[in-house]
Amino acid sequence: MKIIVLGANYYQKDLVLKAKSLGYETHTFGSGKGYTEGDKMIQAARESDYFYPISVLESEAILEICRKIKPDGILTIGCDVCVPTMNYVAEKLGLIGNGIFSALVSTNKYQMKQQFREFDVPCADFILVDEKTKKHTRDLIGKRPYEKVRFPVMVKAIDQAGKCGITKVDTSDKLEEAIEYGLKENIKAKSVLVEEFIEGKEYSAECISWNGEHTILNFTEKFNIAPHFVEIIHLQPAHLENIEAIIKKALTSLEIKHGASHTEFKVTPQGEIKIIEIGARMAAESMWDVVDASTGNDYLKMAIDICMGIKPTIKPSENNTALVNFIMNKWDYNRLEWIKQNYPNKVYREGYMEPLEEKEITKNKDRFGYYVLLCNSREEGLSLVGKDSTQ
């Protein structure tokens, strides 16, 4: 049996290797152009049975080749850019997918917000801004009908993920610069969102769906750094109550029926739930390892099973404590070496270590690497990575 993998980078490599271990013939699409042999952006290409150096945005070209391959399933992980093509090809070939409409509303933050509003899913208010209106945006903030959009605000690129094109803006004099940054980071969109900033702790829900039935595998506590909110730690489990119904309603509002998904949300100091956004795919960069370690469920296998038309097997969680710590600087790298020397049994996995250099990290893909720990408690895990457990 054959599976199409969209994306040739380092995290699709895990998907390719898992699919091959299950006996599937792998066909991977991605640009693969302009990269050196050892580059992390073509690691999946090197592991795949067949590789096609075609951009994942070229849906028609990929469809034509897939008609000849006659695949049994198509999948991507951790990549919003691949979701429209994945669902387009799936729909055209009669494979398992969420449909073209779902792909569009789950990869465009403006359309996503419109769906949330229609289904009464709690989320931040916003102003839609483009090149023509950007100079007048500061005059709209706090005014009707944007009373809730007050400084500080979040400025977001509309069709990006992984914290690309996102900035927290505290004062009006920094607003236009943040809007320009968001517009530049867009893939195709010509607008950005200027959103109400939601106070509170950020979490995510790692889910799997089969025929419209949603199962939350675990909640993730997230640690990030302003102003671009690059994520530095993901920790499971996060113990939350009275939220599953909201998460499931949000997934249904985007017509997500099959496969993995990643829902980001905040819990305000008053205990309110606000959905930030949803990726109709697995979260990137080792979220599958964290889910596997914390629950005992094979997240990648579940996603593969679903795209091949097999109902996933989900067992009760083992309720282990697992976290991924991202390498942001030399101190983080040295901390990993210290853990490996003193607590080697805690290290579950390490990934994509790049040469450390001085650079500004403004999005998730700028990080140098990561490692996953399996710990006895939240406090132990955070202590090992040098993080205050009260934060």
Tens-place pLDDT, residues 10-23: 889 999 999 999 99
φ and ψ at residue 91, rounded to 5 degrees: -65, -40
Q: What is the dihedral of CA 115, 183, 165, 252, to 10 degrees?
A: 10
CATH number at residue 69: 3.40.50.20
Residue 35 has pLDDT above 70, yes or no: no
Determine the Cα–Cα distance for residues 266 and 275; give it in Å rounded to an integer.
Answer: 7
Q: Are residues 84 and 190 in the same domain?
A: no
Final residue in a domain of this structure, among 162, 196, 230: 196
Determine the Cα–Cα distance for residues 231 and 205; give it in Å rounded to an integer.
Answer: 15
Q: Which residue has the higher pLDDT, 352 or 76?
A: 76
E strand segments, the chain: 2-6, 25-29, 50-52, 73-75, 126-130, 153-157, 166-169, 191-196, 201-210, 213-225, 230-236, 259-267, 273-279, 321-327, 347-351, 369-375
- What is residue 317's DSSP assignment? P
Mean pLDDT estimate for the chain: 94
Q: Are residues 170 and 65 in the same domain?
A: no
pLDDT at 366: 83
Q: What is the pLDDT of residues 321-360, one digit of tens each?
A: 999 999 999 999 999 999 999 999 999 999 877 778 878 8
Structural domain total, the chain = 3
CATH number at residue 322: 3.30.470.20
- DSSP-derived 3-state class of residue 73: strand
pLDDT at 346: 98
Structural element, H or E, at residue 62: helix 59-69
Spatial strand order of the sheet with 273-279 comes to 273-279, 259-267, 201-210, 213-225, 230-236, 321-327, 369-375, 347-351
Final residue in a domain of this structure, among 196, 225, 244: 196
Q: What is the mean pLDDT of residues 234-260?
A: 97
The answer to the question of residue 108 being in a domain is no
Q: Are residues 361 and 232 in the same domain?
A: yes
**Residue (of 160, 266, 261, 260) closest to 221 by Cα position:** 266
pLDDT at 358: 79
Q: Are residues 283 and 226 in the same domain?
A: yes
Q: Are residues 238 and 179 in the same domain?
A: no
pLDDT at 163: 83
Residue 308 has pLDDT above 60, yes or no: yes
Q: Would you place residue 58 in the very low, low, confident or very high pLDDT band (cuts 50, 70, 90)?
A: very high
The answer to the question of residue 100 being in a domain is no
The answer to the question of residue 364 being in a domain is yes
The answer to the question of residue 363 being in a domain is yes
Q: Are residues 231 and 329 in the same domain?
A: yes
Q: What is the pLDDT of residues 188-208, one digit of tens each?
A: 999 999 999 999 999 999 999
Domain that holds residue 67: 2-95
Residue 41 has pLDDT above 80, yes or no: no
**Residue 364 near residue 278 (C-beta atoms within 8 A):** no
Final residue in a domain of this structure, among 73, 95, 117: 95
- DSSP-derived 3-state class of residue 254: coil
Q: Which two tokens stand for residue 220?
A: 């993730």
Q: Are residues 265 and 370 in the same domain?
A: yes
Q: Are residues 285 and 340 in the same domain?
A: yes
Determine the Cα–Cα distance for residues 23 and 9; give it in Å rounded to an integer.
Answer: 21
pLDDT at 276: 97
Q: Which residue has the higher pLDDT, 33 or 90?
A: 90
Q: What is the mean pLDDT of residues 36-60?
A: 87
pLDDT at 15: 97
pLDDT at 243: 95
Q: Are residues 244 and 379 in the same domain?
A: yes
Q: Are residues 238 and 278 in the same domain?
A: yes
Q: Are residues 191 and 213 in the same domain?
A: no
CATH number at residue 190: 3.30.1490.20
H helices, E strands: number in the chain? 13, 16
Highest mean pLDDT (candidates 31-40, 162-171, 212-221, 344-353):
212-221
- What is residue 286's DSSP assignment? S
The answer to the question of residue 302 being in a domain is yes
pLDDT at 10: 85
DSSP string, 147-190: TT--SSEEEEESS--TTTTEEEE-SGGGHHHHHHHHHHH-SS--
pLDDT at 87: 98
What number of other Cβ atoms are within 10 A of residue 199's Cβ? 12
Residues of the chain above pLDDT 70, percent: 97
Burial code of 157-188, b = ≥16 C-beta within 10 A, e = fewer? bbbbbbbbbbbbbeeeebbbebbebbbebbee
Q: What is the mean pLDDT of residues 3-10?
A: 94
pLDDT at 36: 62
Q: Would you place residue 68 in the very low, low, confident or very high pLDDT band (cuts 50, 70, 90)?
A: very high
The answer to the question of residue 250 being in a domain is yes
Q: Are residues 189 and 208 in the same domain?
A: no
| CA quadruple 190, 196, 201, 205: dihedral sign | negative
Longest dimension (CA), the chain: 59
The answer to the question of residue 101 being in a domain is no
Q: Which two tokens stand for residue 391?
A: 């934060």
Q: What is the pLDDT of residues 357-374, one digit of tens each?
A: 878 888 888 888 999 999
Residue 37 has pLDDT above 70, yes or no: no
Residue 40 has pLDDT above 90, yes or no: no
pLDDT at 181: 95
The answer to the question of residue 120 being in a domain is no
pLDDT at 391: 56
